[in-house]
Amino acid sequence: MPGPLSHIKVLDLSRVLAGPWAGQLLADLGADVIKVERPGAGDDTRGWGPPFLKNKDGSESRESGYYLAVNRNKRSLTISMEKPEGQEIIRKLAANSDIVLENFKVGTLPRYGLGYEDLKQVNPKLIYCSITGFGQDGPIAQNAAYDFLIQGMGGLMSITGEAEGRPGAGPQKVGIPIIDLMSGMYGTVAVLAALANREVTGKGDYIDLAMLDIQTAVLSNQAMNYLLLGRVPKRQGNRHPNIMPQDVFRCADGQVVLAVGNDGQYAKMCQALNRPELATDARYIKNADRVRNKDVLLPLIEDIFKQWTRADLVAAMEAVGVPCGPINNIDEVFEIPQVKHRGMRMDLPHPTSGTVPSVANPIKLKEAPIEYRNAPPLLGADSDEILRGIGISDAEIARLREQGVV
């Protein structure tokens, strides 16, 4: 069956990660996503390696792992947006698109006549989503930004990492570009909401997304802890600020994550450990008590866990329904039977390498399942097809290519 967005056309002018992540989500859901890239160079992430995909002959391709992670199911068109003829091509494509995604610095696309107000003139029903570091207005709106910078500015690094006084203490960024990814997710939600509203009003919309706004929003419970108490949250390593016991613990032969989420699970954990007295100790019966007394409770649990092997402890916790599991390396993740069962690792046909590995979309739709149509495209692989689709002849395409427009 066609995907739920198979009737939607997306013009993806974005680069790097936040915009392309939104574009890949929309493409996985069936949308026809045209990725516009610079002639000869393409998206910056094509060169963000190693690693690079290997061709069939063993040579390195021009496609990095970074690029391959976020551009599946798209078509690639090369256009020089600095050239008037390139701008005209984009306007023609926008006239037949439902969504435009872009993450240029504030004011860049309006200078080319490709801002929302410009493209709205050729397509009043257009949904135009701009993702920037700081939004379209404000005292630092013009500043450039990357995920790492926003994690620092937006408070995430101040609550990530070991607590002061412990080995390795200091602010840490998250191991993936989490704010880029969250910006792509928020962008996807926003354009889908605008599509739903357009069904009612017949009108398009403009979406102004700022990575700093998104980072501030996803501080979630930590932000509320501060707003309620006026106390600045600090780094606590792997401990949860509001729920106990949740931490990384060492067993006889490795480490585990324990994520007790309620009083019932805590009592079951104590029984499984043959330490029922810890379940009835007044200092630990309720979660609020355990949070207040965590500096006594957590070392007790650590001492108990050291007497167990990792496998035996995980099995004992699973038997009573207490969330507990190993800390896996990424290679181990793809060996988890559940991950294999859910089909999260797959291979897609690729024109120069034969196949390219890919991580599946986690959305499972019963009536209109995700369709994996093609691997991330080679630079400009679909240019001729797309340009012919808006009435440009082969001779004209050849001329535009010779002049560096496409």
Whether the Cβ atoms of residue 305 and residue 249 lie closer than 8 Å to each other: yes
- For 35, residues 6+ apart whose C-beta sits below 8 A from its C-beta are 12, 20, 23, 43, 71, 74, 75, 76, 77, 377
Three-state DSSP state, 47: helix
Query: Is 57 annotated as catalytic?
Result: no
Q: Would you give the end-to-end CA distance of the chain in angstroms?
A: 34
Q: What is the 3-state secondary structure (H, E, C) of 132-178?
A: ECCCCCCCCCCCCCCHHHHHHHCCCHHHCCECCCCCCECCCCCCCCH
53 closest CA partner among 357, 330, 331 = 357
What's the CA gap between 337 and 56, in Å, rounded? 30
* Eight-class DSSP state of 232: P
Query: Do the beta carbons of residue 6 and residue 170 sit within 8 Å?
Result: no
Contact 178, 147 (CB under 8 A): yes
State how far the Cα of 261 lies from the Cα of 26, in Å rounded to an integer: 34
Which residue do the tokens 């680069």 mark?
15
| Residue-level length of the chain | 406
> DSSP character for 360?
P
The span from the CA of 34 to the CA of 243, in Å, is 45
Which of these is catalytic: 180, 205, 247, 382?
180
Beta pairing partners, 36: 77
List the catalytic residues: 180
